[in-house]
Amino acid sequence: MSNKTYHISHNGNSLNGIIPLAGSKSISNRALIIRALSGSDFQINGLASSKDTQVLNMLLKESADKYDVGPAGTSFRFLTAFLSLQPGTQILTGSERMLKRPIGQLVEALKKIGADIEYLGESGYPPLLIKTWGNKAVNHLSIPANISSQFISALLMIAPKLDNGLVLTLEGKIVSRPYIEMTLGLMEQFGVSHSWDGQVITIEPEEYKPKDFQVEADWSAASYYYSMAAMDASAQIDLLGLSLETWQGDAALIPIYEKLGVQTTEIEGGIRLTGGKEKAPMLEWNFLRCPDLAQTIFASCGALSIQGLFSGLETLKIKETDRITAMQKELGKVQVWLIQMPAKFSKKSEETFYMIDGKASIDNPTFETYDDHRMAMALTPLAYLGNINIEDPLVVEKSYPEFWDHIQLLGFEVVEK
């Protein structure tokens, strides 16, 4: 964490400009693991500039006794599975926050099918001691489907390298299904087939077929510009590198923000966001397929004084921070309330609903970021309504290092305090 604070303001002009988005972190990280598993150094073009991706790329090129991923959660989860197949013994560790993020369900799943992994600290949490794969030949595995999709993706990507492949049963409600579909789609790009019947995914032993690959731009990063466009009736923002045909579940931005007054059209080389369309009086959405959009949409609804009713937020408490609690505190600073609804509100007892209520009143608030890149970027569009301050702004390097430069292309001013 840095001691910096950025003061963010806007010049009052319409939000008109062109943003050259970087490659998708989710796709980049999966492509890097697949390349390493293929054993061939093929070209990955448009690789994400995010710190997470750069760290993973560097670590996969190393042969070390200890791997430190810092705060990169995706990298830790993918490397847990990848390193379990490698010869020798390695320690896998990360930042202080990473040591508090649960990894037990992935580790125990890997151990059931032959991995040799020990916890070096608290059981179920990093750091890990990962040894050479054991002798088990079990290829049937059941895992709760409501855990992080990254656990499931980590297992799927190593599956074709196992002697007997893998038959993976997902138990219960599947969380973040688009990320699992993305993983399987990328694996198919590199020659590995699968079958998905109901809750069961089957992958046979197969070699990845190396070939040069182009990473598409990041739909998660697009969310912040959708939020800005929703606030400006005259907005016209071109986001380069995106396509309406995508594996990324965060393309759910299109129907969500259509309800918030933003129209999306495809242009050469990307998409165009246009503000000023009619807004719905209320937004109801289940974020099960796109949890990374939730913080941005919380802030958007508060800015527009649109009441929101949201579910599918189960994984937000185990991200870089507890994103529910963090957003409750920070939005409260501008008189926007994120309220957990009573259990009796839902006919389905397993669902938890949250409501956004209030209208953002911006009076130079200072927002904490909790070592969470999405906290910083989700709250920044509020600067279109009035001056704000962002603590530890360089946290955006985790996924979008160019963010502060890019928003200045739309008339925002960024000054270090």
The pTM score is 0.85
Q: What is the mean pLDDT of residues 337-365?
A: 85
Which residue in the list 218, 238, 292, 392 is annotated as catalytic?
292
Domains 5-22+218-416 and 25-204 share a fold: yes
pLDDT for position 352: 86
CATH code of the domain made up of 25-204: 3.65.10.10
The superfamily CATH assigns to domain 5-22+218-416 is Enolpyruvate transferase domain (3.65.10.10)
Q: Determine the pLDDT at residue 321.
A: 76
For the cut 80, the answer to whether the pLDDT of residue 345 exceeds it is: no
Mean pLDDT of 1-20: 93
Token reading at 303: 């800015």
Would you give the DSSP letter of residue 136?
Answer: -
Domain ranges of the chain: 5-22+218-416, 25-204
> Is 405 among the catalytic positions?
no
Residue 310 has what pLDDT? 94
Work out the pLDDT band at 146, boundaries 50, 70, 90.
Answer: confident
Residue 349: predicted pLDDT? 55
In this prediction, residues 67-84 reach a mean pLDDT of: 94
DSSP character string of 301-364: HHHHT-EEEEE--GGGGGSSS-HHHHHHHHHHTTTEEEEEPPGGG-SSTT---EEEEE----SS
